[in-house]
Structures are given as structure tokens and as C-alpha cells.
Amino acid sequence: MKRSRLLSSIALGAVAALSLAACSTSAPTGGGEAGGDVELTFMTFETPAVTAEFWDTSIAAATAEVDGVTINRIVSPDADRNAYAKKLQATGQFPDLLASISPKDFEAAGLLVPFEQDWLDENFVIPRGAEINGKTYVPPTNAQVLPLVYYNKTIFAENNIAVPTNYAEFEQAVEALKAAGVVPIELAGAEPWSASMPIVALASADVMGGNPDWIRERYEGETQFTDPEFVAAMQKYVDLIGMGGFSAGALSVDFATANKNFLDGKSGMYIMGSWFTGSGYITPEQAENLGAFPLPTDDGSIVVPFNVGGTTAVSSKSKNVEKAVEFAKAWSLAPSSLEPLVEGDGSFPLMKNLTMDDFNVKLNSVFTETYPLVTDDNLKVAAFGWVNDDNSLAPGINDKFYALSQSLFANTDVAGQLATLDAEWDKAAK
């Protein structure tokens, strides 16, 4: 699942043209003592880990805390929730509440309501973690690391490969796996969002690791994609392609197949978001044979590509903003809303007044071994192209950046493609 998912981190893909009516999937859920006089529409999405049952249960729990509201749930037809929300907005059907959209695409038009800072400070570990221009449009309930490099412990042991501690050792691991007849790095290359994981890792480690303000400076025109550090980071990806780091048919492998290939031991490493630690993707037994690490930097310093996110955004055009905000708060604070995301989707909770024991979850070994990347004092930078705060890329640039991961297979003119990206950014950011 692609995910700005945190949950907000989930995927962006192509958009199917389905009507709003066709996407309604559940009966209205009323709550509160007044009997649900206010009807609100909540745009959600579904994945193998985030199911219709989850939404219905969590919505029921939240509406029980809000008097006089009924929620009509609709479902995005695919992972590209932003596109679907824009389609609804264009046809006068913008929902009252929206799950896991990219606020940057809507806040400039004044379509979203910010949450009060006092409430954010009271309830969240990183209360300003999803802030855009000083305001927060989704409660910062959880975090993900985007991406991690997962590795097969058995394959590494059989080939005497140690966990890389710097980029040169990472390349040596690639070479060793190739020499052993194992696909070095699994790539879900058929879809841009999942194909993007290696270049997200490289841009986050090498560009954001060196200058955490790089994206903010790009808005000011002080940095460019054609700057040497960015070109060098993308050249590393081209070099991995050239050295046979990915399978020959990588661009035809979809996300589900890539997951299966890696878990079946057909590849040695897999660069993917921390959602892959969730039970929606791996069993406890599979987890025991997996390890994970952030993509190593040249000098071995640890850079954690980080995304703080949440779920419920509120429309400023809602027929009842007050009730919509009340519902969004209730949904965001309920442990039952986060439980399936923590266990099934590998989300790391950031709730100030809850501990892991407050969630009724079973965690596998990969989750527990990578959780310290979130809690430790280390260098956390914006996961390039995957965050929903002031480090969000200009509208529409995420998808163009993701697409580089596919186009660089055939067109190795790194500087030329990045110059095109600069031009597209300049148009998008006006």
C-alpha cells in the first residue's frame, strides 16, 4: 500500500473514474445522544491492512463520543486519494472529512481547517510534526520511516554478507548477491510510488541528510534539483541499475509481486516503507528472518527518512465545521483507531497520553527492532516526497519525482531529467 500513509503515507497511483455514489460502502453511522441530526461525509480508503471493517468500527467508536452526528463513509476508488478529493471538490462534493490526503494540495486554497495548537500540544509527542505554514491540518498521530532497507538474514548469512554500515559496503553487498545469483534489490517497479523507494532513500540520505532545509530552500530558489549533491544522489541509482542491482524485469513487477518475491527469498534486499513491518505484509515467522536498516550514507552516519502524519483532515466548506472537528479529534485520540495501523500497517504511534500497552496489538520482531529509529535521538529528515508538512514538495511534483525511478532505467541523462524537474517545480510553485 502506498502510503503517505502514515497513514497518511499511503500510496498514490492512477485514478479510476468512479462516481461518488458508486464508492459509498457503508451504512451511515450515527452517534451521540441527540441521534445524529448532523450528517457528515467522510472520504476514506481501503487496503489489505486498512479494511472496511476497521473504518466502520473506528467511526462507530468516534461517533459515540460526539453528540448528534451521523457519518456517511465513502471510499476512494484507488490509492490516489488526493486526486479523488480534487475530483469531488470540482463537482461540488468535497467531503466534510478526508482520510490521509496531502494537506499541501488543499491548504493554499483554504479548503482545510487547522487544529488548535493547545489541543495538539496536549495530545501528541511531536505536535508540530505535520505543520504547514504554522498550522496543522492532520493530527500528528503516528510516524513512519520511508524507506528502510530490508534484508533476508538467511541469504546474507549464506553469502557471508554483513549488514552494510556505509554506502561502499552497501554496494559490496549488491555485488556479492549478484555474484551468488540472487537478485540484489527487489523493486516494485511497475507503479511509480513503489518504484520511487530507492530514490527517496538516496535523496533523503544524501541531500536532506546534508541539508535538512533543502526543500524549504528550493521554494526560495536557493537550491535546485540540478545541484551537484542531488545529481550525485540520483546517479547512485543509475549506477545501481547499471551494476545489475535490480532484476531485468523490475519495471513490470507490481507491489504485491515484489513483496512475495522478497519474502520467498528470490531477492536479498527490499527498499520499502516501514509499513512493511506490519502484520498486513509479513507474519511473525517471516519477520524473524528479516532485518532492516536505513540506507547507509557515504561516511556511515545514520540519517532516518521520517514522516509524521495522521488521518483526519476537516473541510472548511463542511456543512458543520464544529461537528466535523469534534469527530476528527475523537477519531484521532481513540486507541482503537490506531491499533490496526500499528499492528497491520507498521505505524509508530506518537500519542503523548498513550503507551504501547494501551494498544491491543501484537508486534513482530522487525517492528520492535526498528522502533528505536523513531524514539532515539538521531538525525531525522523529511522523507523526500512523502511528507505532509513544510517539507512537502510543490503540488504535483511528488508524482513527477516518483516517475524518475522508472525513467532513469532507459534515460540515464540524470542532469537533463533533473533540469526538467526544476522547470516543472518552478511552474507548480508559482
Judge whether residue 167 has pLDDT over 90: yes
Confidence of residue 22 (pLDDT cuts 50, 70, 90): very low
- pLDDT exceeds 60 at position 11: no
Q: State the DSSP code for 185.
A: E
Region 49-67: mean pLDDT is 91
Asked if pLDDT for residue 50 goes beyond 90, the answer is no
Domain ranges of the chain: 38-141+309-363, 145-307+381-429
Q: How confident is the model over 169-174, as a mean pLDDT?
A: 98
* Lowest mean per-residue pLDDT among 14-18, 179-183, 343-347: 14-18
Cα dihedral 32, 38, 40, 46, rounded to 10, equals 30
Name the region of 155 (left: φ>0; alpha: ψ -120 to 50; beta: rest).
alpha
Rounded CA gap, 394 and 386, in Å? 12
The whole-model pTM stands at 0.84
Q: Is 106 exposed, middle or buried (0-12, 13-18, 19+ CB in 10 A)?
A: buried
Q: What percent of the chain has pLDDT over 90?
A: 81
What is the pLDDT averaged over residues 272-296? 96
CB–CB of 3/255 below 8 Å?
A: no
Tell which wins on pLDDT, 344 or 247.
247
| pLDDT score recorded for residue 388 | 82
**Residue 53's CB: how many other CB atoms inside 10 A?**
11
The mean of the pLDDT values for the chain is 90
With cut-offs at 50, 70 and 90, classify the pLDDT of residue 36: low
The domain covering 38-141+309-363 belongs, at the CATH homologous superfamily level, to Periplasmic binding protein-like II (3.40.190.10)
If one compares 375 and 196, the residue with the highest pLDDT of the two is: 196
- Let me know the angle formed at the C-alpha of 306 by 49 and 100, rounded to the nearest 5 degrees: 45
Q: Strand 142-145 to strand 303-309: parallel, antiparallel, or no bridges (unpaired)?
A: antiparallel
CATH of 145-307+381-429, one of 3.20.20.60, 3.40.190.10, 3.40.50.970, 3.40.50.1000: 3.40.190.10
3-class secondary structure per residue, 58-100: HHHHHHCCCCCEEEEEEECCCCCHHHHHHHHHHCCCCCCEEEC
* Largest Cα–Cα separation, the chain: 68
* Domain 38-141+309-363 identical in fold to domain 145-307+381-429: yes
DSSP state of 161: P
Q: Which residues contact 370 (CB under 8 A, 6 or more apart)?
A: 145, 148, 274, 277, 292
